Copies of this chain bind each other. A is one copy, B any other.
C-alpha cells in the first residue's frame, strides 16, 4: 500500500502538522441553527490557507469530538482568528455548547489500517 492512503476518506496527517482537538458538550438548543453553522464552519475552514482536513463525531449523549489538521502553527492560529470562525464561536458560547475544550497538539506519527477482506 502506498502511503499516504486515505482510510475513511480522511487524511493521514504528516509529522509536524498541528491537530486541533475540539471536545464539546451540546446544549439541547437550536439543532437546526447548529447544523447550519457547523456546515458553514467546515466550508470556511476548507478555504483557509494551510487547512489539511477535518474529522468529526458526536454521540447520542451530546459529546462531540472534532479534529482539524493544519499545516503548521501559523495556519492553525490564522484559523482561530478568522472572522467567520470568531462569529460562529460567539454564537456557540451563547447557544449551542454547555462546555468545550480546545487542545492544540503537534503530530508525531500516524498509522493507518484498512480492511482488506470482509469482517468475520
Instruction: Bin chain A's interface residue count.
Output: 35 or more
Label chain A's interface by main secondary structure: strand
A86 at the interface (CB under 8 A from B): no
16 CB-based A-B contacts, threshold 8 Å: A7-B100, A8-B63, A10-B101, A13-B103, A19-B19, A21-B21, A29-B120, A57-B57, A57-B58, A58-B59, A60-B60, A65-B67, A98-B114, A101-B112, A102-B110, A103-B107
- Ranked nearest first, the 5 interchain pairs of A and B with the lowest CB-CB distance are A105-B105, A7-B99, A65-B65, A99-B114, A57-B57
Q: What is A's interface to B at a CB cutoff of 8 Å?
A: 7-8, 10, 12-13, 19, 21, 23-25, 27, 29, 55-60, 63-67, 93-115, 119-120
